Amino acid sequence: MGEMDKTYNDKNLAEEKVSSKEIFKGVLLHVFQDTVKLPNGNETLREYITHNGAVCIIPITDDGKVIMERQFRYPVRKVISEIPAGKLESKEEDPLEAAKRELMEETGYTADTWIDMGWYMGAPAYTDEGVKMFMAKGLKKGDRHLDDDEFLNVYTESLDTLFDLVMKGEIKDGKTIVAVLKAKYMLDNEK
Amino acid sequence: MGEMDKTYNDKNLAEEKVSSKEIFKGVLLHVFQDTVKLPNGNETLREYITHNGAVCIIPITDDGKVIMERQFRYPVRKVISEIPAGKLESKEEDPLEAAKRELMEETGYTADTWIDMGWYMGAPAYTDEGVKMFMAKGLKKGDRHLDDDEFLNVYTESLDTLFDLVMKGEIKDGKTIVAVLKAKYMLDNEK
């Protein structure tokens, strides 16, 4: 973690684990309930999910279009617009290798240039999931290889249009908002 | 949900609930494992968390500084920098009222002007949590009212510095990244 260029007085904030209980280990979610000691000595419960982590990719064509996905997200019972993304297969998997795999499997594209866009934590109050973000450029189209039980539609949209949709609040997926806004700044500054 | 200015062919994507099982109802997390029917007729499991939703606020002073927080996030075992935020007390609570309450309780500030910045979904693959985002301006400082077992430090940082930290990847909390980038665009366009 960074935030290095400022000195904080964080000494009064840390919580200590007293005990940890595994609540559920499912096919996706791994849920814990820990008892922790607060800075004032009181004890409380912290419930959270552990996760291998994930990657996401904003793939941008030479003419400024983004390869996007439409995907049904069961928790919200809606099809939403997102950039390509996927889970790490283990905590040790190299995020760049995972990003290349997910981009190829989901969209069929490979990329000549991969640019690190930093980490994204979607909900640090209750999950340790970090999502490593990449921009992919120099795209070449191949065939995608979805799993049999994976369903998503690929479409393209200009980065400028996506930026407008983000600013109007029409795109709500957090990692997609972050990737579009960061990419817009990065590419505008290249001009 | 928006994304209205494009017509998508989403008909092949929807999943149907077959059955739903409550796995865990804790003090924070409410976990379900549903059996769903996929578009190809196969069945699979979907595990997810339900959540009342939340609010976050980017409070900006007249001279362009943001009221920020340092807070220990147990799932990642770190103190991180975030904008003020809090949970809705029920799914029916008005997000603006919740935002005013959380800003006052956590930082002591009230605000004359509240600007809607849209919704943020941190991890729609496994939680239905939506976070309503606001910008607060015309700030007035009062006394904060933290709960006895709530610990966080308040500090101020210029929006321009936060923007640089976000672009360098030093700030990783998703809602904070989104709020800083959107606010920077909105305020730069006012100039």
Kindly report, residue by residue over A89-108, the tens digit of the pLDDT: 999 999 999 999 999 999 99
Reported as a single tens digit per residue, the pLDDT across B55-105 is 999 999 999 999 999 999 999 999 999 999 999 999 999 999 999 999 999
Task: Assign A190 a pLDDT band (cuts: 50, 70, 90).
Answer: confident
Q: Which residue of chain A is at minimal alpha-carbon distance from B163? A: A182
Q: Is residue B5's pLDDT more than 90?
A: no
Chain B residues near residue A166 by CB distance under 8 angstroms: 182
**3-state secondary structure string, chain B?**
CCCCCCCCCCCCCCCEEEEEEEEEECCCCEEEEEEEECCCCCEEEEEEEECCCEEEEEEECCCCEEEEEEEEEHHHCEEEEECCEEECCCCCCCHHHHHHHHHHHHHCEEEEEEEEEEEEECCCCCECCCEEEEEEEEEEECCCCCCCCCCCEEEEEEHHHHHHHHHCCCCCEHHHHHHHHHHHHHHHHHC
Among B102, B48, B110, residue whose Cα is nearest residue B71: B102
Reported as a single tens digit per residue, the pLDDT across A7-28 is 678 888 999 999 999 999 999 9
Looking at residue B3, its pLDDT comes to 45
Non-local CB neighbours of B114 within 8 Å, separated by 6+ positions: B96, B99, B100, B134, B135, B136
Looking at residue A25, its pLDDT comes to 97
Chain B residues near residue A71 by CB distance under 8 angstroms: 13
Q: Which residue of chain B is at minimal alpha-carbon distance from A7? A: B155
Q: Which helix (H) or strand (E) holds A129?
A: none
CATH superfamily of A54-190: Nucleoside Triphosphate Pyrophosphohydrolase (3.90.79.10)
Chain B residues near residue A4 by CB distance under 8 angstroms: 170
Q: Is residue B164's pLDDT more than 70?
A: yes
Chain B residues near residue A185 by CB distance under 8 angstroms: 167, 181
B117 and A6 within 8 Å at the Cβ level: the answer is no
Looking at residue A7, its pLDDT comes to 66
B80 and A44 within 8 Å at the Cβ level: the answer is no
The percentage of residues in chain A with a pLDDT greater than 90, rounded to a whole number, is 87
Among B22, B49, B183, B13, residue whose Cα is nearest residue B122: B49
Q: Which helix (H) or strand (E) holds A184?
A: helix A174-190
Distance CA A87, CA A97 (A): 12
Token pair, residue A185, equals 């700044």
The domain segmentation of chain A, as residue ranges, is: 16-50, 54-190
Task: Assign A2 a pLDDT band (cuts: 50, 70, 90).
Answer: very low
What is the dihedral angle through the alpha carbons of B155, B156, B162, B168, rounded to the nearest 10 degrees? -40
B2 and A182 within 8 Å at the Cβ level: the answer is no
Token pair, residue B26, equals 């804790």
Task: Quote ipTM for the complex.
Answer: 0.94
Looking at residue B149, its pLDDT comes to 87
Q: Is residue B162's pLDDT more than 70?
A: yes
AA identity, residue B124: P
Query: Between A42, A72, A168, which is nearest B14 by CB?
Result: A72
Mean pLDDT on B124-133: 97
Q: Which residue of chain A is at minimal alpha-carbon distance from B23? A: A24
Tell me the pairing of strands B109-120 and B85-87: unpaired
- Give the mean pLDDT of chain A: 94
Are the beta carbons of B131 and B175 closer than 8 angstroms? Answer: yes
Looking at residue B6, its pLDDT comes to 61
Query: Between B8, B40, B74, which is nearest A46 by CB?
Result: B74
Non-local CB neighbours of A108 within 8 Å, separated by 6+ positions: A141, A142, A143, A144, A145, A154
Q: Which residue of chain A is at minimal alpha-carbon distance from B51? A: A75
Q: Is residue A147's pLDDT more than 50?
A: yes
